[in-house]
Each structure stands twice: as structure tokens, then as C-alpha cells.
Amino acid sequence: MDSDLIDIHRTLVIIKPDAVQRGLVGEVVRRFEHKGLKLVGLKLFNLPSEKAKELYQPHHGKSFYNYLIEFMTSSPIVAICLEGVNAIDIVRMINGATKPTEAQPGSIRGDYSIDITRNVVHASDSVENAARELAILFDPSELNEYQRIDDGILYSPEC
């Protein structure tokens, strides 16, 4: 794969405590992998309060901020780094709208969420935020560089 010809991005997905508790981790990861996104980082852990506050700093001062921090630190999460062409937009499409009442059936949130905070997944919304959020949750040594066997098919320069 010639990365000079293709605009490849990395993005963060967090499988939230509600989804971990409900046993949805495999289903969420499956949807991203089946779409063709490359898994380059994955870890299950309890999110420390200071990391949650750093991650959600853009929401500091909003009415839901304290509840969000409490929820995100209440149980293990799964942090995922995904890589691919248009990865940020594709992940957000697969996730569906943040509000469960607006999420389309077939999206992760459309199929599994009923609450705006307990909505199964978090995803970065821009290249800049992806870089910021990934740096909060992953050490560079935890992210892998490798070529998948289907890269040539998924990222053919002729397409």
C-alpha cells in the first residue's frame, strides 16, 4: 500500500462502561473490522479520573460533565485505535448519531443505545481531536504498525 497516494488517518473509539457490562465489545470491534478498518491499538482498563477529565476537558462546565466523568470511570472501558482511509468519518457513521432517538437502525447506537451518555461508544470527531485523545489513552509503544493481508484490495490506488 502506497500511503503517499492515500489519506490514511487514525482515530479513537472508546467502548463505554455500559457496553462492556452488556458484553458488546466483540460486536462493536467486529463492525469496524468488517468495514475494513485496521485495529492498531486495543486495551481494556479502568479509566482513571484524571484521564477522563483530560479526555472530556472540552465539556468542562457543561451540565452533564460531572455525570459523564463519573460514568466513564465507573467500570472498565475498551480503548481502540483504528486506522484507515476516512477512518474518522467512517467510524462516526458506523456509531450513529449521539442521541439514541436520532441514531439510525443498523448503527451501533441505533441498535444498542437508549441514553445519550450510556450510548455504547465514543469516537473522535476530527483529525486534531483524534490525535489529542489517542495521546491521552495510548502510549506510542501500544500502537502497532503492520500491513493487513487485505490492504491491497481495500486501498488499491486504481479505485
Query: Count of domains in the chain?
Result: 1
- Report yes or no on 89 lying in a domain: yes
Q: Which domain holds residue 76?
A: 8-146
For 89-117, write each residue's pLDDT tens digit.
Answer: 999 999 999 999 999 999 999 999 999 88
Is 127's pLDDT higher than 80?
A: yes
Between 159 and 27, residue with greater pLDDT: 27
Element (H, E) at 135: helix 127-137
Helix (H, G, I), strand (E, B) or coil at 121: strand
- Report yes or no on 26 lying in a domain: yes
- Report yes or no on 96 lying in a domain: yes
Contact in structure between 47 and 68 (CB atoms under 8 Å): no
Predicted pLDDT at 117: 86
Enter the pTM of the model.
0.92
CATH number of the domain residue 127 falls in: 3.30.70.141
- Report yes or no on 155 lying in a domain: no
3-state helix, strand, coil in the chain (%, to 5): 40, 20, 40
For 43-81, write each residue's pLDDT tens digit.
Answer: 999 999 999 999 999 999 999 999 999 999 999 999 999
Told to judge if 34 belongs to the known catalytic residues of this protein, a careful annotator would answer no
The catalytic position among 9, 59, 60, 122 is: 122
